[in-house]
Amino acid sequence: MDAKDKQIATDLAYEIIREVSRAIRPYVGKPESAEKVKMGADGTPTSLIDIIAEDKLINILKNAPVLSYIVSEEIGELKLGRGTKRSITLTQELRREDLEEDEIPKFIFLIDPVDGTNNAIKEIPAYAISIAVANVTQGRLATLDDVELGFISNLANGNFFEAEKGKGCWLNNEEVTPSTNVNISKMTLGGFTKSGTSQASKLVDNARRMRVLGSVVLELSYVASGRYDAFLDLRGSRIIDIAASKLILEEAGCTITNKYGQKLNNKLSIYEKAVVVAANNKILHKQLIDILNDNQTDFIGKVGVISRIDQTRPILFSAKVIEYLLTNGREVIIEKRLAHELTQLKENPDIDNIIIKVKEEYPEIAHLLDDINLDIDFKQLSENIFDFDCDMALILGGDGTLLRAQGKMNPDIPIFGINMGTVGFLTEIEAVHTFEALNDILKGDYYKEKRTRLVVSHENHKYSAMNEVVVMTDKTAKMLHFEIQVDGEIIEEVRADGLIVSTPSGSTAYAMSAGGPIVDPKVEGFIIIPICPYKLGVRPFVVSDNSEITVKLLKKGKSAVFVMDGQINEEAEYEEEIKFKKSDKDAYFIRTSTKYFYEKVKEKLNEGGIH
């Protein structure tokens, strides 16, 4: 966007702000302004005052001498200008290759005509219009990085924020300055949290004061101008609300990221949302991120190493990992069986040829095995896995290796999985990225993801599972008859080959293959899936993870086996009950990317995870 285009966009933004302010003024504080006219394009109800504001800005851009794309709260996505108005899908429009040069718009406007509608209706002076102007990126999707100009005007009092990328940020034509506070106990915090968010409660309890004004765009701007020290929206803000605010904050020298401290660069779309954490400076921002993630980015000083031992590749690679950790000043303990295999490997007279063969079979990690050092006393570092006491357990293998290890260790020990199996859905990275990831982790650039575990009770015995428990017949091709209760209420009697009770973690494993839904790990629930039920109408259930699930065998003379995570097998007889509850102890995974789950679903499950 050159200087001339920026001036055109700025003039249009000024006109929109001026005319919207005039248009809604007679409706502020009037009960009829609250009338719900329709559902907006973003899925929220649209009030009369919103429609009046949006109609005004659409008319201005429609009659402008240049073409523009617009993303707006109520009407969605349009192409406007030169007297025309046409509905579009922005992500598709930007990828079109059939547009003539004079048909390509100059700007993408992202506009929330009235942010804080309820405040305007009740005449509370905190409602604003937000306008961001982005480059048109014909041939690719546009993102928040493409925003060049930002304008926010408090329509109640006329306070006017504007920013230009790389040039600075102003409030009423004076450069803004954020606060210098770095102390949470002295912090003024604005924002929206979600019910049951204990981490956010810690922030609120520690802050000096908390503000909730009901206008995301204004409150984010208040961080830039020093009125607030920090702002967060854990519900997820719409991109149209944060596009201008983000630029204003960044140009003022503030920090704005997602919950995990990662840069916001979402695509520009009416449907896009992002969790937002903003602060006046990096020091305060880091404290917010640590608290929101349960202060989980602790120093990793002691690492336990576990590996599958049925293949040479992971055993050999574990030696390289152990050497790296020791070289970086970390204390290392090695699972006893792995230490034994490593000792045997280094004493093998054919070790050089073994290394060459592994490098030939797995060329993607060949360079990582150069100069491998086996001159380590692995036995001296060995320890029983049940006795592991460390800051992180590093597991080389697939999901089976990870589940076996997790079931034997103290569940408080966070796990970092390196995929050396077939699919590796639960693992964090592929082997080729190991040392880049470890470098980040040892610097503290990681977070801990919490996963629900199951406690299984049967005949005064208790077992645990992280993925699922499968109840099945102990005789081939024979059906079982189950009674399923949730919190004491019978929800189903079913004849089936078996039954799966799964956590969200296990929803992408056996449960998915048996016809169950894929469930985000953040969902607080359990899935009950009958395996090949006799009745056509029997379907999977998703129940709260605060519930107790009871499964009873009803067929006399038939016994069943129940299997925890494919590892532990136990038997159940006629009329015996198997009870399932959420464990008091969660499992923890060390993650280096927030895009873990859905990215893995696409990558690993598209072709069965086999390349």
Query: Which residues are the active-site residues?
Result: 399
d(CA 44, CA 29): 21
Beta strands in 466-544 (DSSP E): 468-473, 480-486, 489-496, 498-502, 525-531, 541-544
The string over 179-205, giving b where at least 16 C-beta atoms fall within 10 Å of a residue's C-beta and e elsewhere, is: bebbebeebbbbbbbeeeeebbeebee
The C-alpha R_g of the chain, in whole angstroms, comes to 29
Question: What does the DSSP assignment read for 1-51?
Answer: --HHHHHHHHHHHHHHHHHHHHHHGGGTT-GGGG-EEEE-TTSSEEEHHHH
Instruction: Tally the C-alpha atoms within 13 A of residue 127's C-alpha that lie toward its C-beta.
Output: 24
Six-digit token string for 480? 């079982």
Question: What does the DSSP assignment read for 50-87?
Answer: HHHHHHHHHHHHHTSSS-EEEEETTTEEEEEETTEEEE
Q: In what order do the strands lie in the sheet with 568-572?
A: 541-544, 525-531, 498-502, 468-473, 560-564, 568-572
What backbone torsions phi and psi does residue 70 show, to the nearest 5 degrees?
Answer: -135, 135
What backbone torsions phi and psi does residue 164 show, to the nearest 5 degrees?
Answer: -125, 135
What pairs with residue 45 in β-bridges?
39
CB of 97 closer than 8 Å to CB of 198: no
Q: Rounded to whole angstroms, what are the CA distances from 328 to 280, 297, 300, 321, 324?
A: 34, 18, 11, 11, 6
Query: 313 in helix, strand or coil?
Result: helix
